[in-house]
């Protein structure tokens, strides 16, 4: 297979491989509580993203995956959808230099082909621009849905079977994982959701099968690197058995 695989566990450069995924929820409520438009909450949320990414090496996060726009979020008002898309574009433009300075590799997952071509081209650009960075792996899920991702992967695998490149018996978990948008990433160790909601909302259902979950009442625009650090301290105390016995 020609997929780029996650770095080898034994590689000393990748000793610290913690992967934390975050469902950033509560921007709208944060703004509403202050009588402000929802987009102000998203803007504040983008500032929190910037802070958290910069704090990752200190906190001990190597892979940070953020849920920024789901396949269901298109149901929101046109103003909010366009505002969010503009925010993603601005974030990439403004943060490109800092990401290079801080060794951040940025990837975008989700269905890209149906997005505005200018935005999709910007995603291609930032991925290429930061491709050599390895200190922090920032992945942002935009137009992402877990079932949609699995459907697209299944279609790609089925196509290979039809073309005679793959036998059905050869379809292993690794083959399916290798066709997901996250094929270059390790599975998340921990999924955090802010704002008190206790759903996973179609976020990384395949990849997070063995992840730990933490739900915090904090609204995303109030979520600090310090809170993430506290959550990790708690996470380290949990015993992960991956289905095995004690």
Q: In the complex, what is the shortest distance from the CB of residue 160 to ligand FPP, in angstroms, rounded to a whole number?
A: 32
Beta bridge partner(s), residue 63: 19, 137
- The pair of structure tokens assigned to 10 is 């034994």
Asked if 17 is part of the footprint of ligand FPP (rule: CB under 6 A), the reply reads no
Number of residues that bind ligand FPP (CB under 6 A): 20
Active site residue 25: yes
Interface residue with ligand FPP among 27, 71, 139, 143 (CB under 6 A) is 27
Q: In the complex, what is the shortest distance from the CB of residue 224 to ligand FPP, in angstroms, rounded to a whole number?
A: 14
- Long-range CB pairs of 235-241 (<8 Å, 24+ gap) are 235/189, 235/190, 238/212, 240/189, 240/210, 240/212
Which residue's CB atom is positioned nearest to ligand FPP?
A: 28
With CB under 6 A as the contact rule, which of the stretches 66-74, 105-113, 153-161, 228-236 interacts with ligand FPP? 66-74
The CA distance from 106 to 102, in Å, is: 12
CB 189 within 8 A of CB 212: yes
Q: Going residue by residue from 139 to 158, which x/- string records binding to ligand FPP, judged by CB under 6 A? A: -x------------------
Given the DSSP bridges, would you call strands 63-70 and 136-144 parallel, antiparallel or unpaired?
parallel
Instruction: Check the CA dihedral 66-224-30-104 and report its sign.
Output: negative
Interface residue with ligand FPP among 20, 24, 52, 232 (CB under 6 A) is 24
Active site residue 167: no
* Interface with ligand FPP (CB under 6 A): 24-29, 42, 45-46, 49, 66, 68, 73, 84, 87-88, 91, 140, 195, 220
């Amino acid at each position: 297979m020609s997929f780029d695989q996650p770095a080898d566990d034994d590689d000393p450069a990748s000793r610290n491989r913690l992967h934390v995924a975050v469902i950033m929820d509560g921007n709208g409520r944060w703004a509403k509580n202050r009588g402000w438009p929802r987009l102000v909450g998203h803007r504040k949320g983008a500032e929190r993203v910037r802070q958290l990414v910069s704090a990752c090496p200190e906190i001990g996060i190597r892979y940070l995956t953020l849920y920024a726009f789901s396949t269901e979020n298109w149901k929101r008002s046109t103003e909010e959808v366009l505002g969010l898309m503009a925010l993603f574009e601005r974030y990439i433009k403004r943060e490109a230099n800092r990401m290079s300075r801080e060794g951040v590799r940025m990837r975008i997952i989700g269905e890209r082909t149906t997005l505005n071509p200018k935005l999709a081209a910007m995603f291609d650009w930032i991925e290429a621009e930061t491709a050599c960075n390895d200190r922090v792996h920032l992945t942002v899920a935009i137009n992402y849905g877990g079932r949609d991702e699995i459907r697209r992967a299944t279609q790609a695998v089925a196509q290979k079977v039809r073309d005679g490149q793959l036998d059905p018996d050869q379809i292993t978990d690794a083959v399916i994982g290798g066709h997901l948008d996250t094929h270059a990433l390790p599975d998340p160790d921990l999924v955090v959701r802010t704002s008190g909601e206790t759903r996973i909302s179609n976020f990384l259902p395949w990849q997070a099968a063995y992840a730990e979950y933490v739900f915090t009442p904090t609204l995303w625009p109030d979520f600090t690197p310090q809170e993430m650090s506290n959550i990790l301290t708690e996470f380290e105390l949990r015993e992960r058995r991956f289905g095995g016995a004690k």
